Amino acid sequence: MTWLRSVSYGGGVQSTGLLVLAAQRVIDFPLFLFANVGDDSEKPATLRYIAEHAEPFAAKHGIELRTVQRVMQRTGDTRTLYEEMVRPGSRSLKIPVRMSNGAPGTRSCTADYKIHVVGRELKRRGANRRNKATIGIGISVDEMHRANNRRYEPYEDIVYPLLDLGLRRTDCERIIRGAGLPVPPKSSCWFCPLQRPEAWHDTRRTEPELFEKAVGLEELLNQRRELLGKDRVYLTRFGKPLREAIPDGHDLLPMFDEADGACDSGWCMT
């Protein structure tokens, strides 16, 4: 029996496309859950889009768009991903920092701050092994390599409505504009090492203070690793500090044509 149907909402193009399709009753998802990894961690433009456009649109069309966050079970306090990484004494490397060869390291950010957070909300609403919740993930046809059939929790069934409808990212943009909404910016944490280089370049050009904050985070992580006798890590695949890896200027370098890819789980960057 399937009775609880929710979309994992990321604040980006694909999941906003799903929001419009749900409002139009093309798909049956009355609940959208936005796992906010932290107001200090999500891209500010994404948070603005949700507050100014997605939430009013959802309310107008009778869709529940609920924000959920990670809560520490022992204390009941909310903890953000950025807080987790910078708190004094932390050795946490929850994000997929780039190693010296450019390959991403292991990560737990998606599980801890997206999957489990949504899962706890579903359990609170009654989802269990016998009565599973159906979770819609916003992966489009042009990114179908990101889709998989893994069940992250025993009380969830994962589905991909955009794949079922044969829709691409450009289709989602058209659907969003057709509903009178602006197309949202690409969503992710502002310090995510899986961002494409051009996203980093845009941040340096348009949000220099945020870029410098990312530079500081990278330096902090490496200071801690140096004390532990470990190799340096980076926020890009270029094997050098962020300020050197991303040029200061308006022109995108040819080396940036190659995409870094995106989080392959589908819970982020949708």
Q: Do 133 and 9 sit in the same domain of this protein?
A: yes
Query: Is the residue at 58 inside a domain?
Result: yes
Instruction: Please give the pLDDT value at position 137.
Output: 94
Domain boundary among 151, 168, 188: 188
Q: pLDDT band for position 94 (50/70/90)?
A: confident
Q: Do 88 and 199 sit in the same domain of this protein?
A: no
Instruction: Please give the pLDDT value at position 263.
Output: 61
Burial class from Cβ neighbours inside 10 Å (0-12, 13-18, 19+) for residue 142 reads middle
pLDDT in tens, 180-198: 999 999 999 999 999 999 9
Contact call for residues 218 and 241 (beta carbons, < 8 A):
yes
Q: Do 55 and 90 sit in the same domain of this protein?
A: yes
Q: pLDDT band for position 244 (50/70/90)?
A: very high
| Rg, the chain, Cα only | 19
Query: Is the residue at 270 inside a domain?
Result: no
Query: Is the residue at 269 inside a domain?
Result: no
Instruction: Please give the pLDDT value at position 247.
Output: 87
SS (H, E, C) the chain: CEEEEEEECCCCHHHHHHHHHHHCCCCCCCEEEEECCCCCCECHHHHHHHHHHHHHHHHHCCCEEEEECCECCCCCCECCHHHHHHCCCCCCCCCCCECCCCCECCCCHHHHHHHHHHHHHHHHCCCCCCCEEEEECCCCHHHHHHCCCCCCCCCEEEECHHHHHCCCHHHHHHHHHHCCCCCCCCCCECCCCCCCHHHHHHHHHHCHHHHHHHHHHHHHHHHHHHHCCCCCCECCCCCCCHHHHCCCCCCCCHHHHCCCCCCCCCCCCC
Instruction: Please give the pLDDT value at position 250.
Output: 57
In the predicted structure, residue 255 carries a pLDDT above the cut 60: no
* Nearby residues of 39 by Cβ (< 8 Å), 6 or more positions away: 47, 80
In the predicted structure, residue 205 carries a pLDDT above the cut 80: yes
Query: Is the residue at 267 inside a domain?
Result: no
Query: Is the residue at 122 inside a domain?
Result: yes
Query: Is the residue at 266 inside a domain?
Result: no
Q: Do 88 and 200 sit in the same domain of this protein?
A: no
Domain boundary among 166, 188, 210: 188
Q: Do 17 and 131 sit in the same domain of this protein?
A: yes
Q: Do 154 and 204 sit in the same domain of this protein?
A: no
Number of domains in the chain: 2
Instruction: Please give the pLDDT value at position 258.
Output: 45
Instruction: Please give the pLDDT value at position 17.
Output: 98
* Mean pLDDT, the chain, whole residue set: 88
Q: Do 218 and 136 sit in the same domain of this protein?
A: no
Query: Is the residue at 149 inside a domain?
Result: yes
Q: Do 141 and 254 sit in the same domain of this protein?
A: no
Categorise residue 89: left if φ over 0, alpha if ψ from -120 to 50, beta otherwise.
Answer: left
Q: Do 7 and 118 sit in the same domain of this protein?
A: yes
Q: Which long-range contacts (CB under 8 A, 24 or more apart) does 84-87 make?
A: 85/217, 85/220, 85/221, 86/217, 86/220
Instruction: Please give the pLDDT value at position 217.
Output: 95
Average pLDDT over residues 98-115: 83
Query: Is the residue at 136 inside a domain?
Result: yes
Six-digit token string for 88 = 């004094």
Instruction: Please give the pLDDT value at position 259.
Output: 46
Q: pLDDT band for position 257 (50/70/90)?
A: very low
Average pLDDT over residues 90-100: 82
Q: pLDDT band for position 2 (50/70/90)?
A: low
Instruction: Please give the pLDDT value at position 1.
Output: 43
Domain boundary among 188, 219, 239: 188
pTM confidence score:
0.90
Domain carrying residue 206: 195-261
Residue found by looking up tokens 């090492």 in the block = 193
